[in-house]
Structure formats: C-alpha cells, structure tokens
Structure 1
Amino acid sequence: MEQVKGRGAQSGDLSVRFDLPAREPDGDWRDTREAIDGPAPKLRTEVTEETPRSILNFNQSPDIPFDRSINAYRGCEHGCIYCFARPTHAYLDLSPGLDFETKLFAKPNAADLLRATLAKRGYEPRPIAMGTNTDPYQPIESRYRITRQILEVCLDARHPVTITTKSDRVLADLDLIEELAKRNLIAVAISVTSLDPHLSRLIEPRAPSPAKRLAALGKLVEAGVPAHCSIAPVIPAITDDAMEGIVARVAELGVTSAGWIVLRLPHEVAPLFREWLDVHFPDRKDKVMGIVRSIRDGKDNDPSFFSRMKPTGVWADLFRARFDLAKKRAGLGRPVFELDSTRFRPPMTDGQMRLL
C-alpha cells in the first residue's frame, strides 16, 4: 500500500456497519483515477460549522470516572491512527479513516448552549470532561476558540471541568486555567505516547511533538495546575518501551500522577490500524496484532465494561508490572483530583459574565 503522507489513516473507505457503500477490492474506479485525472490533489482540512441543540453529553458507563462531557468538535486533525473516536464519523456517512481527520465539524454555539444548560433550575454540577472524544486543542481551536469560550463559562459559573489533550495549545488558555485551579475547579491531563519525535509523527502525525507536550506539563505544574500524564495508548511492540522513560521524565517535571491505557481497536479502527502497520511496520504486524489479541481474549477488541480498560493475560500483566515499578521508582501516585462542585452558581443568561 502506498503511504498517505502527513496523515494517520491510509484509506478513506466508508463504514460497512450502516450499509454504506464499501470499496471493491479490485476494479474500483479509484484504482485508475490517477491515470485518467493525474495525481490526486493534496488532502486539505475542511471545517463545517454546525449548530446542535444540546452540548452536554451524559453517560452511565460504570467504568469511566465522569458522567458528563463536552465535545467542541467532531473529527480530529491530529490524525492519531489509534483514535477510538474514529467510528463516530460513520454516523455522518463519512469515513472513519481519512475523513475523520480531514472533514471536521465545529460547534461555535457550544458556550451559549452550555450557559443555558447550567442556568436551568435543578441542574446539579459535577465535573465536565473535555477531550473524551476528540481533542479540544486540535489545530482548528486556534481559529475557533470554542474551548476557551467553554472555560470562560465554567469560570463564571464556578463549575468544575477536566481537560484531556495531546497538545501544548492548552497553554494558550493558561490564564483561565490558573484561575480555575485557584478555586480547585480544574485538572489537566496531557497524553504522551512516545519520546521519539519520528515515531510520534507516524502515530499522531499532526499532534505536537512529545517535547512540546512534556514542556506544557511542566508549565502547568509551575502554574499550580493539577496535571496528570496519560500514557495512552500503549501500543504493544511499538511504544511500550517508552513507558519507563515517560514516567521518569514527567516526575522530573513535578507531575505527581500518571496512568496508562493499552491500545483499543473498536469497529473500524482495527482495519485502519492494520493498514497503518502494513505501511509503517510490516515486519512487526503479526507480533503487534498477536499481542493485542492475547490481551483481548483472542479478539481485536473487547467492548465490555471494565474489561475494555483492563486487559488480561501475560503481556498485560507485564505492562502493568513495568508501569507500577516505574511509577514507584519515580515517586508518582494515583491520580486524585477531587474538584469542588460546591462553588457552583448558575451563570447569567443575558450574555454577561462575572468572572469575579
């Protein structure tokens, strides 16, 4: 397979879960389009603005530590090949592959919707999770600033919020984040999967380099912001050798907690990941997938509650033991972020914000 440079996914085939048209293995018109039309144009990122009627997503999943979340964007230009959110693009009749990282959707009215939701009588505050599906600080945030607007609403309402990101762009909002941290209203997790910038570009082609993410963690700590390093995902036989180094490095920066999550391959992510292995690690493909299946009870993925986050088997036990030992040596503990929900005050709905 020919490499699609600068992107994570290597194809743009549609999902077959919803009876969408799939590409024929041979004889498809795309096999001869370059001979007819010339080289395909460079893939460019397209952004469509949408106006949803609600913005808070509530869940009852028993194995995740939050019950509500906000996603300012659909799709993610970072293009991480392993992203478990890729299948959500299939609901839009778009490819979980290249469409997911090139055809993005922004929600400019997110902050207004949030303000209206928090102002409703009877609303009970609990931490809002940001970055649970797509990254709130992906490149288009620099233009739309939707994440910043959401943080402004949270600060105005004294509402607790958590952020998970792979980007040092989070520092663009450090002024708001510091104010939230002073009131025990925020915690920030930055995901670092490798210390090798070349490998990182292959896995997460448009995400900031590991060095930038580590520097951002250090600056958050210096600013007094509760910061956590998430080594997620750990890709067997490709990135797992970086676990100890990442743990040691973040401990030097003053980060007090770290966690890890092993690779998950739900729905269309599994074939996309296999394509990526064919292009970048053909010599390791069988080993990688063999380990993945060994920790998922012989399958590519385990969607069951609890076990989806806790792989089993010899390899999983080895990763767990290595991480625990590295954390012990570095003096890191378990993440304990008890954010304060008692300061909540319904926001003003006339477009004004107190911010005091």
Structure 2
Amino acid sequence: MPPSDDALPEQPRKGRGAVSNRPSTRFGLPDRHAVDDGWGAMEEEEWTPREAASLGIDAARRIITTNDSPDIGFDRSINPYRGCEHGCIYCFARPTHAYLNLSPGLDFETRILHKPDAPALLRQELAARGYLPRPIMLGINTDAYQPFERHLGLTRHILEVLAEFRHPVGLLTKSALIERDIDILAPMAAAGLARAGISITTLDRSLARRMEPRAATPGRRLAAIRALSSAGIPVTVMAAPVIPGLTCHEIEPILEAAAAAGATGAGMTLVRLPHEIKALFEEWLRAHAPDRAARVLSLIRQCRGGRLNQAEFGERMRGTGPYAALLRQRFSLAAARLGLDRPRLPLDTSQFRPAGPQLSLF
C-alpha cells in the first residue's frame, strides 16, 4: 500500500543503517509510516531518534545448519543470533526477518533474537552417534560478535564446546570483540582447529559509519587482524562486499592494509541485493550518497545482467560482465602481489573426540 499524503518522509536514524522499516512485499505485511498528526513542527532529531534494540529468544531445536551450496566452501554453520545490530545496509541476511513477520529494515537491526540453548544443543549434536565432523563456520548469516554478545557470551560458550570436542571451526566477523576469545582460539589454531576471517568493506571511516553503523571501525578491524595474527591464529581478510561505484576503488588498499596487519589470506564477494534489500539499499543510497546513487545502481546492474541481483549459483557471489571481471582481476593481482593467494591448510577433523573429555578409569 502506498504511503498516505500526510506520511512523513523517511530519514536516516542515528546509529542505524536502514532508513525505514519497509515491510516485506513477499508476505503481504502491513506497511508502516510516520504521520504528521498536526501538532506542529518538531525538531528533526525528535523525528529521527535512535531506535533502541530489544532482545528476544529464538527457541531452536537444532543449532547446526547444513547447506549444499556450490558457492561456499563449507556445508555447516552455526548462527547464535537472528538479526544483527551492526546494521550493515547491504547485509544479505536481512530478508530472513520477513519470515518472522518483521521488517528486513529497522526491525532487522533492532529486534534481535538469540538462542540461549545453543551450547547445550551443540553438545548434544556433536555427541550424537554417527556424527561425522567437518569444519563448522560460526556467524556466517549474522555476526556472532554483535553488541549483545558482550554480556550474553553465547559465541564464547559455543567455542568452549567446540574446543572440548576438538572440533574444527572458522569464524567471520566485523567485530573486534573476537579478540576476547583469543585464549580459546589460539590453542585451537595451534592444533590446526581454528581460523578467522575479518570483513572490511571500506577503509573510509565516515562511509563505514553510515553504511555499517554499529560494526567496528575499519581501523579497529585491522587491529583485530594484528592481534589474532600475533596470537598465531590464521586470518583471512574479506573485501566484502565490493560495491561498484562506492567501494570498488578500495580493493587494493584494503588488501594492502590487511597484509601489513598480518592477514595471510584474502577473499572477495560482489554486493548481493536479494529480495527486500534492493529497495532498502536504494533508499539508503538516496539518503546518504544522492550524488552517486544513479551511478552505483547502474554499475551494479552492469555486473548483474541488467538487474540489481542474481540468485543463480556460480554468479551470485561473483557477478557477470566486463566490470565484474575487471574487479575480480584487480583482486587477484593484488592478492598475488601481497602473498594472500597461497593455499591454506585444511582444518583438521582427525582430532575430533565424539564424547568430549573422559575421566580415566584408573
């Protein structure tokens, strides 16, 4: 339903990525608009307050999620949280909130669900008869080190279980909070059981604040790479997502800064705008980069066969066309020059202890 004539224009919220609480069009959810009730003009900051985040419970029955996607190099993952307070406007996980009858916009950033039983469920699943270990990726859909993790400690408890079972794990995050768990990750890494990935979209602090408002600053992420690497934990930098016309000029500087901080590997993905993210991202562009919005959208379409998104396997991460090929070539050349393209040793599954530690009989 289109907004009424007295609906107030959507404006950026302090500390949030999405401009609006745009509903999902796939499930027919009701639209919501701020409306001028006639009481007179108000200060702008009163119309655009910082949306407070709330925490709810996701009553999961299982904690390990499996997939058979040919685009990613793992078949199982754990996500302790639904929604993410980091507020990255481009986040491909935003549409999952629509399944909860919530908006992929501001609701995704402010109505966070956590899985308090995750460590216990993980212990049950790893101890199950017939379980075959393969590396688990932690925090792939939504960040496992988002702000609520500071006092909940869910991710840390999950790592404690994985360490107990000597189960291999990989992590991907935009948060410097991962440094808190170096005491668990370093011994696991020394045994070939752990590695980490740090995602850096831009080195521009101002752009990062608008585009991913509650994630760690680019400088803080580089410091996290340095801390993890110094502790002997292999770190991959993810130049992800690359946004044509907005961040694509930073591919080489990001890799150079990460290599200088101690990263030993690199990856890249092209921005993905599935489902509701297309409208949310365009809305964000018009609000935060109006002078570049048309060009950014045009370049994305050039990389996506004339569309803003491609869902096909083999193309959704890489894009198609000359401009996407040029971005991949630039990344490959920079990674090779910096030694970030060397093969990585696989995480070791042979040390897995199905029942966890056992007391000696004698």
TM-score by length of 1: 0.93
Partner residue of 2:19?
A: 10
The answer as to whether partners of 2:19 and 2:105 remain within 8 angstroms in 1 is: yes
Deviation larger for 86-95 or 314-323:
314-323
Number of matched pairs: 347
Question: Partner amino acid for 2:204?
Answer: D
Q: What is the percent sequence identity of the aligned residues?
A: 49
The answer as to whether partners of 2:15 and 2:50 remain within 8 angstroms in 1 is: no
The answer as to whether partners of 1:258 and 1:334 remain within 8 angstroms in 2 is: no
1: distance between equivalents of 2:173 and 2:136? 14
1:236 corresponds to which of 227, 230, 244: 244
- Cα 1:339–1:311 change in 2 (3 A) is same
TM-score by length of 2: 0.92
Deviation larger for 30-39 or 213-222:
30-39
> Unpaired runs of 5+ in structure 2?
1-9
The answer as to whether partners of 2:11 and 2:20 remain within 8 angstroms in 1 is: no
1:47 corresponds to which of 42, 47, 55: 55
Question: Partner amino acid for 2:202?
Answer: S
2: distance between equivalents of 1:206 and 1:42? 12
Partner residue of 1:32?
A: 36
1: distance between equivalents of 2:137 and 2:270? 21
Report whether the alignment pairs 1:176 with 2:184: yes
1: distance between equivalents of 2:328 and 2:38? 48
- Cα 1:180–1:287 change in 2 (3 A) is same
- Cα 1:203–1:163 change in 2 (3 A) is same
2: distance between equivalents of 1:255 and 1:164? 13
- Cα 1:72–1:33 change in 2 (3 A) is farther
Partner residue of 2:162?
A: 154
Displacement of 1:283: 1.1
Partner residue of 2:4?
A: none
Report whether the alignment pairs 1:95 with 2:99: no
Q: Residue 203 of structure 2 aligns to a residue in which SS?
A: coil
Report whether the alignment pairs 1:71 with 2:75: no
Displacement of 1:22: 2.9
2:68 corresponds to which of 56, 60, 64: 60
Displacement of 1:50: 2.9
Displacement of 1:101: 0.3
2: distance between equivalents of 1:341 and 1:33? 62
1: distance between equivalents of 2:129 and 2:107? 40
Partner residue of 2:153?
A: 145
2: distance between equivalents of 1:283 and 1:3? 16
- Cα 1:37–1:19 change in 2 (3 A) is farther
2: distance between equivalents of 1:6 and 1:61? 34
The answer as to whether partners of 1:156 and 1:347 remain within 8 angstroms in 2 is: no
Deviation larger for 333-342 or 209-218:
333-342
Partner residue of 2:212?
A: 204
Displacement of 1:160: 0.6
Partner residue of 2:334?
A: 326
2: distance between equivalents of 1:45 and 1:347? 38
- Cα 1:10–1:158 change in 2 (3 A) is same
1: distance between equivalents of 2:179 and 2:157? 15
2: distance between equivalents of 1:34 and 1:120? 62
Displacement of 1:37: 11
**How large is the Cα RMSD of the aligned pairs?**
1.9
2: distance between equivalents of 1:21 and 1:211? 40
- Cα 1:345–1:89 change in 2 (3 A) is same
1: distance between equivalents of 2:236 and 2:173? 11
Displacement of 1:239: 0.9
Displacement of 1:353: 10
1: distance between equivalents of 2:101 and 2:26? 11
- Cα 1:34–1:302 change in 2 (3 A) is farther
